[in-house]
Amino acid sequence: MFFLFLSCILAEIFVFQRPGDTITIKFTLDPENINTGFFNPEVGHNMKFKVKIASKDDKRILYLNDSLPEGKETHFSFNNTDSQDILLHILSMAADEKTPTSPSEFQMKFESTADTFNTKVSKEVQYKPAINALNHLLAKLNNITTTTKEVYNKSGDLRNEQKKMLSFVLGFSIISLFAFAVLNFFKLYLMKSYLNEKKYL
């Protein structure tokens, strides 16, 4: 007997070598789930299969089929309200005791999803993630707005500094130009006085 511990989504093909082979698969289900899937035994090997899904704790049978039809998908569905472990048992048997058997493939799929038909679960699964995503987006936008304001304020401070520097440079240039003009006027005055004194003018 094989014990397989699998996740909540399984799509697999098993090979049964002879009648009497069994496989037991354990699933751990989250609360408020819908569980669906199918079984599909390969045709032409003189094999039939018995499938049972039962709760591990209270042995409650959730699905039972004593003879799955070969070459046809047999679908199943059940839901669970509490978190629980379930066991899936598959037993191979000879379809005709007088006819030889050969190894047969057994395809199955098991999927467990949140029961969104339940209003409470739907809110948890659909609305809360959307609200969380929206809150995350709003936080990002708020951060961007804050950063933009900080950059704008720093730019304003920089503009004020530039205005002060420009005013200083302009004022200093005017004062320098005035001083240069006064100095040249004074030199011109001295030169004129000198020439008058020497009677060159």
* 3 part of a folded domain: no
The last residue of a domain, from among 97, 114, 131 = 114
Structure letter (DSSP) for residue 7: -
Give 125's contacts (C-beta < 8 A, 6+ positions apart). 114, 116
Q: Is the pLDDT of residue 9 over 50?
A: no
Residues 186 and 123 in one domain: yes
Query: Comparing 98 with 156, which gets the higher pLDDT?
Result: 98
154 lies in the same domain as 108: no
User: How many domains does one find in the chain?
Assistant: 2
A 10 A CB-CB count for 90 gives 22
- Choosing from 80, 95, 114, the residue where a domain stops is 114
pLDDT (average), residues 116-134: 61
Residues 26 and 102 occupy one common structural domain: yes
Tokens of 146: 């804050």
pLDDT at 43 over 70: yes
Bridge partners of 11?
109
| pLDDT number for residue 130 | 66
- 137/68 same-domain check: no
Rounded mean pLDDT of the chain? Answer: 80
pLDDT greater than 70 at residue 200: no
Whether 1 maps to a domain, the answer reads no
Q: Which of 114, 136, 162 is the last residue of a domain?
A: 114
Q: Between 73 and 153, whose confidence is greater?
A: 73
Q: Structural domain of residue 68, as residue ranges?
A: 10-114
- CATH number of the domain encompassing residue 83: 2.60.120.680
In this structure, are 93 and 125 located in the same domain? no
Residue 70 has pLDDT above 90, yes or no: no
Give dist(CA 93, CA 11) in Å, integer.
22
Residue 85 located in a structural domain:
yes
Residue 5 falls inside a structural domain: no
Task: Round to whole Å and give the CA distance between 196 and 193.
Answer: 5
Q: Are residues 26 and 104 in the same domain?
A: yes
The answer to whether the beta carbons of residues 107 and 42 sit under 8 Å apart is yes
- Report the percentage of the chain scoring pLDDT > 70: 82
Q: Quote the pLDDT of residue 129.
A: 66
- Tell whether 108 and 124 lie within a shared domain: no
